Chain A
Amino acid sequence: MLKSFKKRSAYLLIALCGVLGIASGGTLAGAEAGPAAYNYSFWGDTAASPAAYQATALINGENLKIGAFKDPSDIQVTANQIYVLDSGNNRVVVLNSQFKLVHIIDSFVREGKKDTFKNPQGLFVTNDKHVYVADTGNLRVVHLNPDDKLAGIIENPKSELLQAGFKFQPVRIAVDKARRIYAMAAGVFDGLMEFSADGTFTSFMGANRVSFSPVDYFWKMVSTKAQRSQMVMFTPTEFTNLDINDEDFIYVTNGQESDNVKKLNAQGNDILRKEGYFPPEGDIRYTPADGPSRIIDIDVADSEIFSILDSKRGRIFTYNGDGYLMYVFGGLGNQMGEFKSPAAIERIGDDFLVLDQALGEITVFQTTDYGRTLNDAVRSYYNGDEERSFQLFQKTINMNANLEFAYDGIGKALLRKGEYAEAMKYFKQSKDQPYYSKAFLLYRKQVLRKYFPALMTTILILAICAFLLKKIRKIKGGKKLVSTQQRAG
């Protein structure tokens, strides 16, 4: 009996150990799920945040059975098809939304002869599946029909704006709905090259401004001509990438010190809203040795949401249309969800595709519950669905109380509802002074309207009382005076 009890307790002990082991193992697995997600607070501190995205799949040439990707440099998504520009193999690989191979474009017929790409760097696919390839090695842009027939070619553009002997080396391209082509070419500092639909060069647009410090100016002034000729030329920086949104606004990125994301209007002016706590340029806390983020790709989604890719630390930053940082994910490393040398990002629906150039693979990221809620909240706020965005932002805050701009969304919904005092609290949380002031003015008016009659009545009554009292005193005093006079008399 005693023996069996002992035996049973031993089993119990083993079972208990097992349970404990599973529990601790479970938490360990959770901790290993990827780099910690974060966001920046109003004060510029990193605040922990739940992960908005998780890596779920890897796609590479081997598991598509088409041979490994070699230095792929660009990726495009359109109407449920994914186009991967496999630069090293001079081909475009087309996948469907289930990541199954559809076909490969590696050649086209030009004037009856077979022609191929040579180290192409940029790719753009329009919604009606016209493919544009920046065929960098061949110094041209190739335009293919949906059925892979050649529809046009842009080669050495002619214009008085271009210098003699100009070598057209397109690196990235985008095409708008009117089929105007915007090309980013190597060694061009005047902005994007704009081509009309038939392929003639029309103009440059949206050049970066030259940044020039007073110190440089001073040294230029005091130095001799010979010294000056040895100095660095102050040329505007080149863009690093571009994307175009549904309304044909072009978003460009560049690799300067600051002002690295721009939304260009037709005149080439920057109209990106930067109302967030920090300019939308990736990491704002970094060691001087590491330096700021280097943004090399941008992807514009619906509702003015856009994401940028930092090649220095391999992170993807996503901002809403106002410029508030929504979430950060990714990183450099060897785990799933980390990269070696990320080159391009693209969204397929709400999922992210990140192309790694060195490893030749695509990482697929899918939203977590948190990411989904936040995306929906921002989207419904953008669409003016106040009630829904109010509820969704409430839900996001329950999952991440550090997300300060979400309080702003709630505050604006409350303001619209007329709950001013409550709205003020939320604007205070999100440090939004203009909206706080707006809510406060309405609240003050409300309070005054409520109490002003009572207040005014009291003051008036008191004034009348004081007046009467004075009168009475005067009459009484007068009497006293009279009586003393009488006595004197």
Chain B
Amino acid sequence: MSPLSRELVKYPLYLIVHPFNGFWDLKYERSRKINLLTSVAILFLLILTSIMKNEYSGFLVHLANPDDMNSLLEILYVVVPVLFWCAANWSLTTLMDGEGKFVDIFTSTCFALIPLILVNFPWIWLSNVISLQETSFYHFSGSFAILWCMFLLFVGNMTVHQFTPSKTIGTILLTVVAMGFMAFLCLLFFSLLQQIVAFVSTIYQELVLRS
């Protein structure tokens, strides 16, 4: 293992068990370029995990209708929430005297997602060799991963913006509300766009058919 790749693998693993030191280093000590690279890699792995989970999970924990399987949508389900979260958090914290830049927020968010990959990835295969009674372990570890991830998100946010814990919790709650607003605006925008496109194409068709 070359020193660089060792650093790439070792540091994220260090971060998830020592979040306070880890996130500090992430913001103030480490190269931004490598952080960004790792973040994208983490996102990619998370997408891979969720797609594989959808396709290869055991029959006892995951009943999927083959007609509803769509790997492209799985990418959206991972990327869109992360980007929404970052954008909402950034817009809020700039107003609330947060010290984090958008890059910091993005990298810290991505690093906080590591437990989801680490816990869920092996369970894709393990879920194929468990019985119905043992599925409670599967569900337990899923919830555990989510809780861990939420804790990391909290610590990451706190460190990046240099907030107090209570202020961080407030910001996070407000961020979720802001995400809701953004989702609403996006839906509105796309539905209007769709109508405009439909309108233009109808006029175009009229012109073409009449001439």
Contacts and interface: CB of A to CB of B under 8 A. Distances in A.
Contacts of B129: 444
Contacts of B132: 433-434, 436-437
B133 A431 contact: no
Interface in B129-180: 129, 131-133
Interface string B65-91: 101000000000000000000000000
Contact of B60 (A43, A437, A444): A437
A13 B131 CA distance: 67
B131 A441 contact: yes
5 contacts: A43-B67, A433-B59, A433-B63, A437-B60, A440-B60
Query: What 8 A-B pairs come out closest when comparing CB atoms?
Result: A437-B132, A437-B131, A441-B131, A43-B65, A428-B59, A433-B60, A440-B131, A437-B60
Interface of A: 43, 428, 431, 433-434, 436-437, 440-441, 444
Interface string B48-59: 000000000001
A363 B132 CA distance: 47
Interface residues of B, number: 9
Contacts, number: 21
Given A436-B132, A441-B131, 19 more contacts: A43-B65, A43-B67, A428-B59, A431-B63, A433-B59, A433-B60, A433-B63, A433-B132, A434-B132, A436-B59, A436-B60, A437-B60, A437-B131, A437-B132, A437-B133, A440-B60, A440-B131, A444-B129, A444-B131
Contacts of B133: 437
Contacts of A441: 131
Contacts of A436: 59-60, 132
Q: Is the interface of A mostly helix, strand, loop or mixed?
A: helix
A452 to B, nearest CB: 15
Contacts of A431: 63
B127 to A, nearest CB: 12
Nearest to B63: A431
A441 B132 CA distance: 9
Contacts of A437: 60, 131-133
Q: Which of B60, B67, B129, B131 has the most A CB atoms < 10 Å from its CB? A: B131
Contacts of A444: 129, 131
A441 to B, nearest CB: 5
A401 to B, nearest CB: 15
A219 B63 CA distance: 40
A43 B66 CA distance: 10
A434 B63 CA distance: 13
Contacts of B67: 43
B80 to A, nearest CB: 26
A448 to B, nearest CB: 11
A269 B30 CA distance: 69
A104 B55 CA distance: 66
A199 to B, nearest CB: 52
A434 B59 CA distance: 11
A444 B58 CA distance: 14
Nearest to A428: B59
A99 B78 CA distance: 67
A434 B132 CA distance: 7
B57 to A, nearest CB: 13
Contacts of A428: 59
Contacts of B65: 43
Nearest to B135: A437
A434 B133 CA distance: 9
Contacts of B131: 437, 440-441, 444
A433 B129 CA distance: 13
A447 to B, nearest CB: 10
A404 to B, nearest CB: 13
Interface in B35-65: 59-60, 63, 65
A443 to B, nearest CB: 10
A431 B59 CA distance: 8
| Best-buried of A436, A440, A441, A444 by chain B (most CB within 10 Å) | A440
A368 B21 CA distance: 75
Nearest to A441: B131
B126 to A, nearest CB: 13
A436 B63 CA distance: 13
Contacts of A434: 132
A368 to B, nearest CB: 29
Nearest to A45: B67
Contacts of A440: 60, 131
Nearest to B59: A428
A43 B133 CA distance: 24
Contacts of B59: 428, 433, 436
A421 B115 CA distance: 34
Interface in B178-202: none
A12 B133 CA distance: 72
Nearest to A447: B129
Interface in B110-126: none
Nearest to B129: A444
A436 B65 CA distance: 18
B159 to A, nearest CB: 44
A436 B132 CA distance: 9
Contacts of B60: 433, 436-437, 440
Nearest to A436: B59
Nearest to A431: B63
Contacts of A433: 59-60, 63, 132
A441 B133 CA distance: 10
B139 to A, nearest CB: 14
A428 B66 CA distance: 13
A180 B131 CA distance: 48
A328 to B, nearest CB: 22
Contacts of B63: 431, 433
A359 B129 CA distance: 60
Nearest to A427: B59
A441 B129 CA distance: 9
A474 B59 CA distance: 50
A411 to B, nearest CB: 13
A444 B131 CA distance: 9
B122 to A, nearest CB: 18
A440 B129 CA distance: 8
A461 B47 CA distance: 41
